[in-house]
Amino acid sequence: MGKEIRIIYDEAGDILDMSIGEPEEAISREVEDDFFIRIKQDTGEVVGFSILNFRKWFKNAKDIKILPVKGELVFS
């Protein structure tokens, strides 16, 4: 079985955060304005990403519905 994916949307901060696998220490690197990836420093493995100002970047996307979520969505 693969790793779990956790997706959290912070409506107040307008941040979408996705983590792959169990939470672990990582460094964040901005790859584009408001787009960050989290990388394990020892292996270079990507363990998640964050999108700041999510509504601004995806305001024209018709298939994305922004729903307030309490807690986490977990896919495995």
**Does a structural domain hold residue 69?**
no
- The percentage of the chain sitting over the pLDDT mark of 90, rounded to a whole number, equals 50
Domain region containing 48? 5-57
**Does a structural domain hold residue 45?**
yes
**Does a structural domain hold residue 48?**
yes
CA distances (Å), origin 13, targets 6, 27, 54? 18, 20, 9
Question: What does the pLDDT average to over 33-39?
Answer: 95
**Does a structural domain hold residue 49?**
yes
Question: What does the pLDDT average to over 29-42?
Answer: 94
Smallest Cα–Cα separation from 36: which of 48, 21, 44?
Answer: 48
**Does a structural domain hold residue 10?**
yes
**Does a structural domain hold residue 72?**
no
Quote helix, strand, coil % in the chain, to nearest 5. 5, 45, 50
**Does a structural domain hold residue 76?**
no
Q: Is residue 76 pLDDT above 50, yes or no?
A: no
When comparing pLDDT for 65 and 45, which is higher? 45
Residue-wise pLDDT for 8-29, tens only, equals: 888 899 999 999 888 889 999 9
When comparing pLDDT for 63 and 52, which is higher? 52
Number of domains in the chain: 1
Smallest Cα–Cα separation from 14: which of 50, 43, 61, 63?
Answer: 50
